[in-house]
Chains A and B, each alone.
Chain A
Amino acid sequence: MSSAARTARNLVITGVTASALVLAGCGPSATDSGQAAGEITALDYYADQQGSKAWQQVLDTCAAETGIKVDRQTVPTDQLLPKVLKDASSRTLPDLLFTDNPSLQQIAATGALTPLTDYGISTDGYYPGIVKAGTYQDKVYGLAPGVNGLALIYNKKLLQEKGIEPPQTWEQLKAAATALTADGKYGLAFSALATEEGAWQFLPFFWSNGADLAKLDSPQGVEAMRFVNDLVTSGSASKSVLNWNQNDVADQFVAGNAAMMINGSWNLARLDETAGLDYGVVPIPTPRPGTAPVVALGGEVGAIPATGPDRQQAAAKVLGCILSEPNMVAWDKAHAYVPSKMDVAKKFGQENPAMQPFVSEVETARSRTAELGEKYSTVSQALGAALQSVLAGQQSPEDALRAAQEQAGRP
């Protein structure tokens, strides 16, 4: 055998060995038996500093209470669902999963989740809206330790300077936003991304005006979109709302570039930390005086994927601990969420005045998936696209919503 051939043979052996190693590395590890119920994995998307710290505290408390070690993983919000899908196909789902409530039904539809009733976790005392959001085909798969919603947050100083009262109706909101727009500053900021985030921000206007997700292009829906569009075309809100996510909106508000913003309660901790910022919170203005706004119910629900009986039991213990009243309140206080149990929320609102508008909104809030189930994501995608198209000046509210309805109605 020539030396070249010998080298080649050796190379082949090396190559085959390397490939075998690679393949071994790709496969599921076989050492994970059902015995390790003393330890579970948990997945969430609280990637921001305050949220992450607050959540870690809750997990630490419950790890100590139950004696179960919680191995936590955090991914950015938009990567949670792709990761869950990937994990589902490789059967490496976390034992405890915290996901945005509108995506719960989709995950449940895959069959990867187990009903919480299996573990004796009760839904008594929770807001019906949040139970509905966690329900798929009459079984509850997810429950939340806290919920959130959107409200109008305003800069007290800027409003006082102009002698403006916090707006309660669309008329007042429009007038206030116009009056507060001056010197490169805008009256109002909100997010109008072409995604779920934009749809979620638009829904309070859409629903409060009596429109329905089953028929996007109803006169009420068109009217709501025209109202939001007028805020932008009149210059009371920057055209940059097209690119802002809700964090960007909060940045604009903190920087004093916007006098009012539509944003969620989870921003309050950050606003509190900003020196010299005096803010107030009122429910989102409604089309007519004296009516309650209908906002979308936000927040994450905890679910238990099918990962093996021992691990599921352990995960249920930890979830039960997270849902217990003291931990629920601790988490909601730290992250400015509204407790998902009605009587706890009532007390919570009385003790935290800045949270009271959010608490009262939750009573009338609607679950995004209650009506449409797993089809919601298609509809919200179409609604977000329509909003962008209108605000960018591409289509009239009527045309955009008609197109959205067609797209959403496609099988």
Chain B
Amino acid sequence: MIRYIRWCGYFCALLLVALLVNIARVQVWESAAYGANPANKRPAIERYAQPRGNILVDGRPVTGSRDSGQLLRYERTYANGPLYAPVTGFSSQTYGTSFVERAEDPVLAGTDPGLSAFPLWYDLTRGRPAGGNAATTVRAGVQLAAYAGLAGKRGAVAAVEPATGKILALVSSPSYDPAALSGTGSRVKAQWARLNTDPDRPMLNRALRETYPPGSTFKIVTAAAALDAGVVTDVAAPTETPDPYPLPGTRTLLPNAGTGCQDASMAEAVQWSCNTVMAKIGVRVGLRGMVEAAERFGFNRDGLRVPSWVSRSNFDTDMSQDQLALSAIGQFNTRATPLQMAMVAAAVANGGELKSPYLVDRTTQDDGSPVRRGDQRSLGRAMDPATALRMQELMVKVVEDGTGKNASIPGAVVGGKTGTAQHGVGNAGTPYAWFISWARAEGAPLPAVAVAVVVEDAAANRGDISGNLAAAPIARAVMEAALSAR
């Protein structure tokens, strides 16, 4: 019997070995795969176990964290949620993150290795440093001016500092409160459904993600292209353009909204927004020249990040002459984000050099010590410095004595360009009112701000008047705020 007891012992030892081998398989070999399984709630629980770092505007947090006592514990709160929603985005237990919340997520959530001097320490203790902060380039006053200007309208504002590329304001209207998406449960799901089915599309970031036909504001690009290409050497010289202008190769006549465009010079054409003249100039520059100029300003560029990605602005590269003529005045397939048009104004204001726009100035640890600085990068030269100077003069003329008088600010040099963009099938939609501009305080060496404003449902439908009526006052308020904040 002794022998059989021993065999039983061996059998039990075998069972033990099988158990040990299997737990080693589960806990070491399969561990990573189990951890990565989307049904495993542990990563989410860990992620929300501590308060999230904050997003700062003017050094003050516009976000907060609330202990919900739920499984996914700390929920995001927003001070002035709708105002900053296009900047912060949302941080939701249910729907993830967007915009700065997404772009700077590692820092805010405390997983960025830069948050700790000794990352190994946190590996050993299985802890996590407190979430860091992301300080934005946005200025509260500028943002508020843009937001108030758009109140009740559909549209967007993008404002940048021309010399650096800092984004001073990013507003989309109507907006929403991202706090409605914080947390879990049916309330959040209902809000998400409501926001996604709302015909006003409040969650759409119109400043970065919506492209509009830029209309007459694109004439700045066409004019700069003509000067750089030498097609126009004297801005005051008559261009011998008929009114209306027959589109090359067709019988279609291109009209002007106003009068006095017959045979006008390029300076007058910009000042009074003559479609005929600028279309003809665009055709003279040629497809290749126009495409190259537009691309120098940032059109057709994929992967622009601020650090959230920005929709691609389009200027077709394969067009007939009549299509090119329409594209030169910002119609046909030409489309631009408000940020793109702010970049056009900024390039003119900055002497031709185009700075890459950016939204996050620096990220810091919880205690304020730096993690990373936002980088000022150049996107290259959009035009010659001499061309830029000429363009500045032309744009100033628009505001002083042209279609954009509503943007003028006493004590500041302001350059601008109105736009009214036809859209819809057969141009049936209510036109978009555009205004792009820049402003420099008198005596200041550098322009403080470049702005693009688009208002979708501009009531007035009379050529470039609507840009001046609906969009220019908003641009002025934004520029005033930027000038006074200096």
The answer to whether A and B interact is no
Residues of B participating in the A interface, judged by any CB pair closer than 8 Å: none
